[in-house]
Structures are given as structure tokens and as C-alpha cells.
Amino acid sequence: MSLEAPIADRDPSGNATIADTSYRHYEGPRNLHSVRFRVVALSTIRQNVNRTRLGFWIPAGFILLTYFIFGAIFYVTQSVRQFGVTIPGDTGNPYALTLYQGLVSIDLFLFAAALTVGAGSIAADNRANALLVYLSRPLTRRDYLLGKWLGIFLLLAGLSLVPNLVMYLFFLTAYWKDGFSDQAVGMFGRMLAASLIGPLLHTSLILGFSAWSRSPRLAGAAYAGFYFILSLASGILGEVLLERDTAGRMPQTIAIVSNLSVSGLNRGVAQSLYDVTPQQAVQNFRQGRRRIRRRRVIQEAPPNMPGRPPLAPMAGLTLAIIVLPVGAAAARIRAVEVVRG
Amino acid sequence: MTALSPAVANAENLTVRYGPKTVLSDLSLAIPEGCVGLLGPNGAGKSTLIKTLMGFLRPASGRATVLEKDTVSEALAIRQEIGLMPEQDCHIPGMNAVTFVAYAGELSGLPSAQALRRAHEVLEYCSLGEARYRNVETYSTGMKQRIKLAQALVHGPKLLFLDEPTNGLDPQGRDGMLALIKDVSRAKGLSVVVSSHLLPDIERTCDHVIVMRGGRAVRQGPIASLRDTGADTWEVELRTFSAAFVESVTRRGGVPGFRQGALLHFDLSKAELPPGLLLFQAARESGAQIRGFRPAQRSLQEVFMEAVEG
């Protein structure tokens, strides 16, 4: 029996997956040029959420686990409070502090996801001459970059936003009557904004490094170096300044300097958005550990550490770090390089 | 400028510079419909011409049009209607052939279902049907050349630019690729511009050639007319070589020229008799047997060398 469908049964419009095997001209509909970047973005997402790409799913698992732990700590703490037990060092808004701590704790996983998702985004295209495929089509450099950026950003934003939303919903449903109702609307906006800072920073930076690298490994190594060296340098510099500034004359400068890194900017802006201080966060974290271990708690003085940096310079720096790498990537992608003689 | 119409691409006094270096200098040409060979030594400006026609380079002066669209102001519209098969390997990492070609179609604006359908169709056409689910990175050189052609064809272009399409292919692969190019340009009606260093490839596939040197088009036209010697030179093929035949033709005013085995060239411009009559009289007199005769033509290599050596 022939496997081929009788001619009369074939779709005359040619919409079948395989209509026939001969090449024909295409005169059918075409999508508008203005939405072509979406094709690039969707392809980036599809390639990375593939089941075999564990580079995305492993950080995703760790991020969910982190939030689960923070959620559990919060639940235990609130349960203890309900029994009228006063917890020493209990300062600040517990909801904001928990969301903030979750956000800060996942930055490393977000960074790891950015490496696996973004390092090859343009570098692998450079290596495989894929830019030839893109730029010989009705696609501008802007479309290509926007598509790549959006694809990576949506993946990272998903990693950051989903657990934050789950945590928010947990607060909303379980603690509505315990004071969360007063801040639910405002907290949602703050949570949304704070969750997107890390993905925005990582997306732009990894895209910039990827555009200027010939291979994904090189891009990943360069970004990792940038991330860790800057974190280390700003941390050390902040500590040195704090040590020398015995009179406490320049707390804001110290706070800015100690946050001059990718994770620092994320942290600094999130502190302002959630209205928490680093001291509160550290105390809250210590409490959490002690509560879990069921040790006896002694009230401690707030640790001597750089304070919360002012929002305006941190937001300005964050914006610059988001925009500049994209500009650098745009400068690197040149159509004239696509045809070599 | 040679009048060739209808033209799919035109350049009028086109000058393109890379910084202080002028790569295309006051270039005027018309690329007609059909299959056109772009010939020239390295640095002649072939790739720069393709870049300019695709709208990647802005001319310093002059203008170029492709499919009646300006390369500067309508570059995206041009790229919608052309396909490029680049010289070097190019693929999108981590994709199998059908995903890659469908993606290339989507980038050109095809809806995803149509892009997938055409990807299957084009891969089948390029003889990659059975390897369509393999990762492109695992393909052989010949298969990579074919997939480059497939991605250039998927969106149904009207004009194809093929940059060294037979690079790195074995004789069998080369024959297959040339057959595909011939079929695309003749049976499917696409206009094709083939940039190549390999003259036999151009000779086998193209109807027209443009020979470039130093950023200028030094010869352009149908291959048949370029090969025409212009002089009254005739090519005669004998059954076996006959010195008596040569002597007999010479006595009648013919000047013997090129000879290879039983293939002889005679300049009959000074002969008083018409070529046919002269050759048959000489054959009868010498007892030689003529298998055929026709106006002599130069090889494409001779045309090319003459053009590039000025």
C-alpha cells in the first residue's frame, strides 16, 4: 500500500507540513518587519529552556530552593511571634526583609544562569558566522540585539520573578490579616521592580561581553572575572574606607563604593526599594540561623558595616551599567563584516 | 555601460571607499536576469559589490539599485527579496537543519508554519531530506554548502547571491551543486549572481559574465558574445590531421592559427571565397575529411585573462 496520500486528499492550499518535495516560489503572507525581533527572542528562549540544557534549569532549581528556605524561616519566625515570643534584634519590615534577602541570595545563581544562557548568545554566533544568516535578511542590527537581549532578559526575569511572586502570594494568602494587607499593593510594585534589577544588569552585561568575544567560553570567563573581581575590589575598598573613616564623615561615599559591583548595585537599589538597611538584613539573617538551630539569642549591637547607599547615584550607575554594554554590543555587530572576500 | 535589460541590479558611477582606499571606482554595470557570473582576481571588488548591493555599505558617490530598489534607502526591502549564500561556513549553533532553515525563513518574515513547511521543501530540494534532523555542526563540507543554499532559498527570493558556491567540494559534490544552481536559475526562474574564481563553474552555469578589475567592470555581457573572436576566424575539425588540407587552405588566402590534434583554426578574413565553399574546395583537393566547422570562439579563460591583464 502506498504511503502517499491521493492527490485529491492533499491540502490544495499547501498548508500541510510537507506539501511536496519540489522548490517553489513563496508568495504567501509575511510578518511585519517591526515584530522580527520577536523571532530572535523566541529562538533564544526555546534553545535555552530545552530539556537537555541543564545550565538554565540547575540555577532555577537552586533559586527555588533558596526561596523555599527563606519562606520556611519566615513561617517559623511568624509562628513563634504568634505565641507572643519577642525575638531580639527584630527590626524592620519582615516581609520586605525576607523578599530582600531572597533577592540578594539568588544573585549568584542568577549570575550562573546568565553565564549559561547569555555567554554564547552572540559569541557563538560570531564563531559560527551566524551573523551572516541574520544580517543578510531583512533584519537590522537593532532587531538582532533587541531580540537577543529580550530573550535572555525574559529567561532571567522568569528566574527572579517567579519565586518572588510565589513568596508574595504566600504573604498575601497567609499573612493578610497579620499586617500584610496594609502594604500589599506597594509591596507588589517594589517586589516587581527589585526582581527585575538583577536580570536587567546581568542581561546587558553578558550580552556586551558576548558580543566582544569570539567564543562563549571566553565571554563567560571574562564576565565571571568582571563579576567577582569587581565584587571583591569594591568590598575591600569599602572596608578600608570604613576602617579609616573613624569620625563617620562619609558614610554615603563608603556605602556607594562598597556597592560598586554587579551584585552591589542590585543590592543597593533593592535596599532603597524595600526600605531596608544592610544592618537589618544581617541581623535578620543571624536571627534566622539561630532560630533554626534553636540556640539562645543574645541581643547584639548592630554590626559596623557600610550603610544603605543613596538611591539616586545607585540608580544612575545601574542605568549606565544596563545601557553601556548594550551600546558596546551594538558597536561590535557590524553588517559589513558579514561578507568577506 | 552595456545595455542589458531587463536588469535585476544596476550600478551607476558607483564609488565605494574603505577609509582612504577606493575599492569600487566609478563602477557602472547592469546585472541582467538569469545566471550571471562575477569574475575577477582577489581585490577586484567582487565582495564589496555584493556588500553594496545588499545595502551593507554606503557608496561615497553614485548609486545602485537592486530589483528597482535603492540600496541605501531600501536596504531592508532588498534583503527581503534576495538570498545570500556566503563563502564561509555559517550556521546557527545548536540547531538541526530543519530548525535552522525554518528559523532563517522566519527571520525573513515567513509565518512559523509556512517557514517549517518550506524548510522541509527546500531541504528536500537541496538533497538534504534524509539529514534534516541532524545537527548542522555535524555536516560534511558538501552538506554545509547545500544547507547554505537552502537557507538562502527558503523565503522565496527573486535574486540569489552565491559567493564561491563550490568551495571545498569534491568533483561529485561540485557537479551536484552546479546542477542545483543551473536548476534554480533555469527551471525555477530565479536570477542568480555567482561570484567565483573557478572559470569552468561559471562557464557551466552562467549565461552572462561581469569581469572586474581594480574596482571596475572591465568586461560584461553574454558569455557567447564575449567568447566571439570578432575576427573571421574559423574552427575546423578534420577526421585526421592533414598537412595537405592546411596547405590548400593557405593557398586560397587562409591563415592557419591554433592547432590541437585534428582541430584547426584559420583566419579567413583575406580569403576571397565564402568560408564554407573555401573549406570544402580545400578538402576535396587534399582528400581530407571535414567533420565540422564553425566560427572560432575563445575560451572563457582567454576572455578573463585578456580582461584582467588589460
Q: Shortest CB distance from A18 goes to which of B46, B90, B117?
A: B117
- What is the model's pLDDT at position A303? 62
Q: From the list A16, A21, A133, which residue is nearest B124 (CB)?
A: A21
Contact A22/B116, CB-based, under 8 Å? no
Q: What is the pLDDT of residue B3?
A: 44
Would you state the pLDDT for residue A20? 47
Amino acid code (one letter) for A218:
L
The model's pLDDT over B100-152, given as tens digits with 9 standing for 90+, comes to: 999 999 999 999 999 999 999 999 999 888 889 999 889 998 899 999 999 99
Q: Which residue has the higher pLDDT, A338 or B182?
A: B182
Dmax (CA) for chain B in angstroms is 75
- Tell me, yes or no, if A43 comes closer than 8 A to chain B by beta carbon: yes
Give me B138's grid cell: 555535524
Q: In A, which residues are within 8 Å of B152 by CB distance?
A: 136
Q: Choose from B53, B108, B160, B190 for mutation: most chain A CBs within 10 A.
A: B108
pLDDT in tens, A220-245: 999 999 999 999 999 999 989 888 88
The pLDDT assigned to B228 comes to: 75
* Residues in B touching A132 (Cβ below 8 Å): 84, 86, 88, 90
Give residue B251's pLDDT: 92
Q: CB–CB of B103 and A39 under 8 A?
A: yes
> Using the beta-carbon criterion (under 8 Å), do B84 and A136 form an inter-chain contact?
yes
Q: What is the pLDDT of residue A301?
A: 53
Cross-chain residue pair A137–B50, CB shorter than 8 Å: no
Percent of chain B with pLDDT over 90: 53
pLDDT at B193 over 90: yes
Q: Which residues contact A148 (CB under 8 A, 6 or more apart)?
A: A40, A41, A44, A121, A122, A207
Check CB contact under 8 Å for A336 and B51. yes
The CA–CA distances, whole Å, from A66 to A56, A117, A243, B5 equal 16, 20, 33, 70
* Statement: residue B4 has pLDDT above 60: no
- DSSP secondary structure letters along B22-70: EEEEEEEEEEESSEEEEE--TTSSHHHHHHHHTTSS--SEEEEEETTEE
Check pLDDT > 70 for residue A261: yes
Q: Which of B111-125, B158-172, B203-217, B296-310 has the lowest mean pLDDT?
A: B296-310
B167's grid cell: 568551495
Kindly report whether the peptide bond that precedes residue A251 is cis, defined as omega within 30 degrees of 0: no
Instruction: Tell me which chain A residue has its CA closest to the CA of residue B46.
Output: A341
A16 contact B CB<8A: yes
> What is the reported pLDDT for A22?
65
Task: List pLDDT tens digits, range B265-275.
Answer: 898 888 888 98
Which range has the worst mean pLDDT, A93-97, A285-289, B179-183?
A: A285-289
From A138, which residue of chain B is nearest by alpha-carbon distance?
B76
Instruction: Say yes or no to pLDDT of A304 above 90.
Output: no
| Residue A16 clears pLDDT 60, i.e. is over it | no
Answer whether residue A6 shows pLDDT above 50.
no
Contact assignment for A29 to B48 by CB distance below 8 Å? no
pLDDT of residue A284: 65
Instruction: Nearest by CB to A136, from B47, B79, B111: name it.
Output: B79
Residue-by-residue DSSP string for chain B? ----SSEEEEEEEEEEEETTEEEEEEEEEEEESSEEEEE--TTSSHHHHHHHHTTSS--SEEEEEETTEETTTTHHHHHHHEEEE-SS----TT-BHHHHHHHHHHHTT--HHHHHHHHHHHHHHTT-GGGTTSBGGG--HHHHHHHHHHHHHTT--SEEEEESTTTT--HHHHHHHHHHHHIIIIIS--EEEEE-S-HHHHHHH-SEEEEEETTEEEEEEEHHHHHB-SSSEEEEEESS--HHHHHHHHHTT-EEEEEETTEEEEE-TT-SS-HHHHHHHHHHHHT--EEEEEE-B--HHHHHHHHHT-
Region A166-194: mean pLDDT is 90
Residue A41, chain B, CB below 8 Å: the answer is no
Burial (0-12, 13-18, 19+ Cβ within 10 Å), B101: buried
- Is A133 within 8 Å of B91 when comparing Cβ atoms? yes
Contacts of B94 in chain A (CB under 8 A): 47, 124
Q: Give the per-residue pLDDT at A338.
A: 39
Q: What is the DSSP string of B175-208?
A: HHHHHHHHIIIIIS--EEEEE-S-HHHHHHH-SE
Smallest CA–CA distance, residue A17 to chain B, in Å, is 5
Contacts of A13 in chain B (CB under 8 A): none
pLDDT band at residue A118 under the 50/70/90 scheme:
very high
A71 residue type, one letter: G
Contacts of A136 in chain B (CB under 8 A): 54, 79, 83-84, 86, 152
A322 vs A28 pLDDT, higher one: A322
**pLDDT average, residue stretch B58-62:** 92
Residue A166 clears pLDDT 80, i.e. is over it? yes
Single out the residue of A27, A21, A24 nearest to residue A4, CA to CA.
A21
Confidence at residue B199, expressed as pLDDT on a 0 to 100 scale: 87
Q: What is the mean pLDDT of chain A?
A: 83
Average per-residue pLDDT in chain B? 89
Phi first, then psi, for residue B30 (nearest 5°) are: -130, 125
Per the CB < 8 A criterion, the answer to whether B276 and B295 are in contact is no
Checking if the pLDDT of A10 tops 60, the result is: no
- Residues of B in Cβ contact (< 8 Å) with A21: 121, 124-125, 129
Hey, what amino acid is at B21? K
Q: What percent of chain A has pLDDT over 70?
A: 82
A297 φ, ψ (degrees, to nearest 5): -105, 135
Q: Is the CB of residue A52 less than 8 Å away from at least one CB of chain B?
A: no
Whether chain B has a CB inside 8 Å of the CB on A3: the answer is no
Range in A153-162, A167-176, A210-219, A276-285 the model is least confident about: A276-285
Q: Which of B267, B195, B229 is nearest to B35 (CA)?
A: B195
- The minimum CA-CA distance between A158 and chain B, rounded to whole Å, is 23
The predicted structure's pLDDT at residue A291: 52
Residues of chain B with Cβ-Cβ distance to A124 below 8 Å are 93-94
- Position A247 confidence tier, pLDDT thresholds 50, 70, 90: confident
Residues of chain B neighbouring A119 (CB-CB closer than 8 A): none
The three three-digit cell numbers of residue A317, written as one number = 550607575
* pLDDT higher than threshold 60 for residue A302: no
Considering only CB atoms, B93 lies closest to which of A14, A20, A124, namely A124
Cβ atoms of residues A88 and A299 within 8 Å: yes
Residue A2: per-residue pLDDT: 41
Answer whether residue A297 shows pLDDT above 70: no
Which of A36, A132, A340 is the mutation pick for testing B, counting most B CBs within 10 A? A132
Contact at 8 Å (CB) between A150 and A326? Answer: no
Whether A30 sits inside 8 A of B108 (CB atoms) is: yes
Please, which pLDDT band fits residue A335 given cuts at 50, 70 and 90?
A: low
Out of A29, A33, A39, closest to residue B106 by CB = A39
**How many CB contacts within 8 angstroms connect chain A with chain B?**
146
| Res A14: pLDDT | 44
Q: What is the pLDDT averaged over residues A46-75?
A: 88
pLDDT at A90: 58
B88: nearest CB among A21, A120, A340? A340
With CB atoms and an 8 Å threshold, state whether B43 touches A341.
yes
Note whether A36 contacts B: Cβ–Cβ < 8 A: yes
**pTM score of the predicted model:** 0.82
In this prediction, residue B310 carries a pLDDT of 65
Write the pLDDT tens digit of every residue in A92-109: 788 999 999 999 999 999
Res A12: pLDDT: 42
